[in-house]
């Protein structure tokens, strides 16, 4: 049986308009990702990778077309509905960790769960499990400034999946790390995705990491295009 489609973009249009004119980024972009699939998004700076991730992740609305998550068209939903879906079904990881500096690693991972309504006990148990899984259980009481770059990113990844989303969107998650650290952070990310059955769309400039994913796509003339070889 074919795996379920988690995210589908149909004819997505996205443009920015200012005094200088109209800048078209996505022009009839189509894309689908199945449950459990890991897809690399490889394109030069400015091509529209972040725009695609933000549109897919319901942070930006498309100017046209459909963004279908788990069979539901989300492009036209109310802001409240989009926020609820984003909170429960989508995890984000950025190039910079964006952890809250005054909270510990454990508390940072608890936060989205508390926002969702879990008890403090449930949230801290899940956060501790995720830290162990990311092999940084011994760092749980440390604040972000007391962690290395690789450890900070592993906490950010754990936070992104704290609410067990179905889709993980990552914007150059290892882009700020040296090659060896990037390798082991990606190992942890890949293990998590493979073990949990998450779908992941990961923008990266790193061709070695891209080669480890199931598929590679790029952006060309505002469309999502499969990369061959």
Interacting residue ranges for ligand ADP, rule: CB under 6 A:
16, 23, 25, 43, 45-51
φ, ψ at 87 (rounded to 5°): -65, -40
Residue 52 or 156 with smaller CB distance to ligand ADP: 52
Closest CB 227 distance from ligand ADP, rounded Å: 15
Regarding beta strands 5-18 and 21-34, do their DSSP bridges make them parallel or antiparallel, or are they unpaired?
antiparallel
Helices (H), 12-59: 49-56
Residue 33 or 169 with smaller CB distance to ligand ADP: 169
Closest CB 97 distance from ligand ADP, rounded Å: 18
* Cα–Cα distance for residue pair 92/86, rounded to 1 Å: 9
- CA-based max dimension of the chain: 53
Cβ(51)–Cβ(25) under 8 Å? yes
Q: Is 180 exposed, middle or buried (0-12, 13-18, 19+ CB in 10 A)?
A: exposed
Residue 16 or 197 with smaller CB distance to ligand ADP: 16
Closest CB 136 distance from ligand ADP, rounded Å: 28
Cβ(58)–Cβ(9) under 8 Å? no
Distance of CA 62 to the CA centre of its chain: 18
* Cα–Cα distance for residue pair 88/14, rounded to 1 Å: 24
Closest CB 52 distance from ligand ADP, rounded Å: 7
Closest CB 18 distance from ligand ADP, rounded Å: 6
Residue 53 or 147 with smaller CB distance to ligand ADP: 53
Residue 8 or 49 with smaller CB distance to ligand ADP: 49
């Amino acid at each position: 049986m074919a795996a379920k489609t988690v995210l589908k973009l149909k004819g997505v249009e996205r443009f920015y308009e200012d005094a200088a004119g109209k800048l078209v980024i996505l022009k009839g972009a189509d894309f689908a990702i199945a449950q459990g699939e890991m897809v690399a998004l490889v394109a030069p700076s400015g091509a529209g990778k972040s725009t695609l991730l933000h549109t897919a992740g319901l942070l930006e609305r498309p100017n046209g077309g459909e963004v279908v998550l788990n069979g539901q068209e989300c492009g036209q939903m109310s802001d409240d509905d989009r926020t609820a879906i984003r909170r429960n079904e989508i995890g984000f990881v950025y190039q910079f960790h964006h952890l809250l500096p005054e909270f510990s690693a454990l508390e940072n991972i608890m936060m989205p769960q508390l926002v969702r309504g879990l008890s403090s006990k449930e949230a801290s148990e899940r956060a501790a499990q995720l830290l162990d899984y990311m092999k940084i259980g011994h760092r749980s009481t440390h604040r972000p400034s007391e962690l290395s770059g690789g450890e900070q990113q592993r906490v950010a990844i754990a936070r992104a999946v704290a609410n067990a989303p179905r889709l993980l969107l990552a914007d150059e998650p290892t882009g700020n790390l040296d090659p060896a650290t990037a390798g082991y952070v990606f190992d942890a990310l890949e293990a998590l995705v493979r073990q949990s059955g998450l779908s992941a769309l990961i923008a990266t400039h790193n061709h070695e990491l891209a080669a480890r994913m199931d598929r590679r796509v790029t952006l060309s003339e505002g469309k999502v295009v499969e990369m061959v070889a």
